[in-house]
Amino acid sequence: MIKANDPSLQSWIEVPVNSDFPIQNLPFGIARSHGAVSIIGNTVISLAGLQELNYFSAIKLPKSIFASDSLNGFIELGKPTWRTLRDRLSELFRKDNAELRDNEEAKKKCLVNISEVTMLLPVKIGDYTDFYSSKEHASNVGSMFRDPKNALLPNWLHLPVAYHGRASSVIVSGQNFHRPKGQMAPPNTETPVFGSTKALDIELETAFIIGKSTELGTSVSTKDAEDHIFGMVLFNDWSARDIQRWEYVPLGPFLAKNFASTISPWIVTLDALEPFRVQAPKQEPAVLPYLEHAQGNTAVDIKLEVYLQPDKTEALKICASNYKYMYWTMDQQLAHHTVNGCNINVGDMMASGTISGPTPDSFGSLLEITWGGANPIKFPNGTERKYLQDGDTVIIKGYAQNDKVRIGFGEAKAMVLPAT
Ligand code: MN
């Protein structure tokens, strides 16, 4: 077992009940004017501060590696270093360890309440790819847009379908964005009009962050895939359905999706998620050999929730899904992405695709929840929504939980501002 995952550990830092960040989590992020940080409960931990005070002297680390505006440099050091660092943090913040606990001056320098901190994008994202790996989602969309009898296109069960997204417009939770404008064709016409989208949607997703680069011309096997993954974040792939419907043939989504994608600020390591591994859904027909899984529990049980909050209205939970429903796993996505020799770089982001479950209350987009607008979402005060309106806030939450520990992601939250 990974030492830092021991469910019996307790910290001398107070952890509120149902906190996403017990001592067993220790995710990584970047905070404005603090650089690389971790968190326990509501207490943000300055890694640069701890390094400066020699609390990491037993670990081989470049000088000032944490005094940075991205985690890329730290991630480049490799999995053994992430694991050792996380184990060291676990040791340092254990209830019975007085090293830092009883050093008031060091604590003042290295610990700060989350309310006093602004979280930034955790990594410099070179490339961002978005998969389409939920069978339920692909079937729902295929049923609505094409034919319920042939909801999945012929390739879908044989490869994890994806498109190349846009890294420049990935934004961190808390940053709001403007309603996008573009071309769309009104129903039953083939002549486009220009304007702001009238069908702004969400996509409930997670993303994994590449932790080890590869050379052009080489591939990553499913067996080695997880050596190349640093951790995961929550991901909202905002989508303008009317723009998408007009533009997506034949090369896939473009302006309908690249105006903004919101991520949660804390990268939860695959190590921290280890206790929540579960078997992935059975794949039928059998996949080609390069996509076969090398190990057993390749999926992760992560509970996912979406809340919609119109201006001046209570937030309403509109979806409860789970990452474990995904037909294609991270290992398969990465093996497929690189099988042609495409290289990957530390900090690259690979999003899962909309994560819909089997029942309507687990659908991961408004398109599916309202079934193309046929069943609007109704709020207790009478407000209704088919798609997002200006002033609406969407919050994605996610956590893995068993009877001993809860490993959470925090949230990915943003508000829709009027078109400019
Ligand atoms: Mn998507």
Q: Which domains does the chain have, with CATH numbers?
A: 3-120 (2.30.30.230), 128-417 (3.90.850.10)
pLDDT score of 7 more than 90: yes
- Reference 269, options 224, 325, 221, 209; nearest CA is 209
C-alpha of residue 29 to centroid of ligand 1, in Å: 23
Q: pLDDT for 325-343, tens place per residue?
A: 999 999 999 999 999 999 9
- Provide the pairing of β-strand 393-401 with 239-240: unpaired
Q: pLDDT for 13-45, tens place per residue?
A: 999 999 999 999 999 999 999 999 999 999 999
Q: Give the rounded percent of residues in the chain with a pLDDT score beyond 90.
A: 97
pLDDT score of 312 more than 90: no
Residues 6+ apart with CB under 8 A from 382: none
pLDDT score of 293 more than 80: yes
pLDDT score of 126 more than 90: yes
Q: pLDDT for 222-269, tens place per residue?
A: 999 999 999 999 999 999 999 999 999 999 999 999 999 999 999 999
CB neighbourhood size of 298 (10 A)? 20
Distances in whole angstroms, Cα of residue 328 to Cα of each of 241, 288, 292: 24, 13, 11
C-alpha of residue 197 to centroid of ligand 1, in Å: 17
Give the pLDDT of residue 1. 84
Is the separation of the CB atoms in 198 and 242 below 8 Å?
yes
C-alpha of residue 105 to centroid of ligand 1, in Å: 46
C-alpha of residue 75 to centroid of ligand 1, in Å: 25
C-alpha of residue 171 to centroid of ligand 1, in Å: 15
Question: How would residue 119 be classed by pLDDT, with cut points 50, 70 and 90?
Answer: very high
Question: How would residue 311 be classed by pLDDT, with cut points 50, 70 and 90?
Answer: very high
d(CA 376, CA 387): 9
d(CA 200, CA 202): 7
pLDDT score of 77 more than 90: yes
> Across the chain, which distance is largest between two alpha carbons, in Å?
71
C-alpha of residue 248 to centroid of ligand 1, in Å: 13
Question: How would residue 203 be classed by pLDDT, with cut points 50, 70 and 90?
Answer: very high
C-alpha of residue 340 to centroid of ligand 1, in Å: 23
Give the pLDDT of residue 315. 96
C-alpha of residue 122 to centroid of ligand 1, in Å: 20
Q: Is 176 exposed, middle or buried (0-12, 13-18, 19+ CB in 10 A)?
A: middle
State the catalytic residues. Answer: 137
For 76, the 3-state DSSP assignment is helix
Entry field: residues in the chain: 420
C-alpha of residue 351 to centroid of ligand 1, in Å: 7
Is the separation of the CB atoms in 364 and 356 below 8 Å?
yes
Containing H/E element for 334? Answer: helix 330-338
Single-letter residue type at 290: Y
pLDDT score of 145 more than 90: no
Question: What are the residues facing 38 on neighbouring strands?
Answer: 45
- Provide the pairing of β-strand 261-263 with 229-236: antiparallel
Give the pLDDT of residue 106. 98
Give the pLDDT of residue 130. 98
Determine the average pLDDT of the residues in 264-290: 97
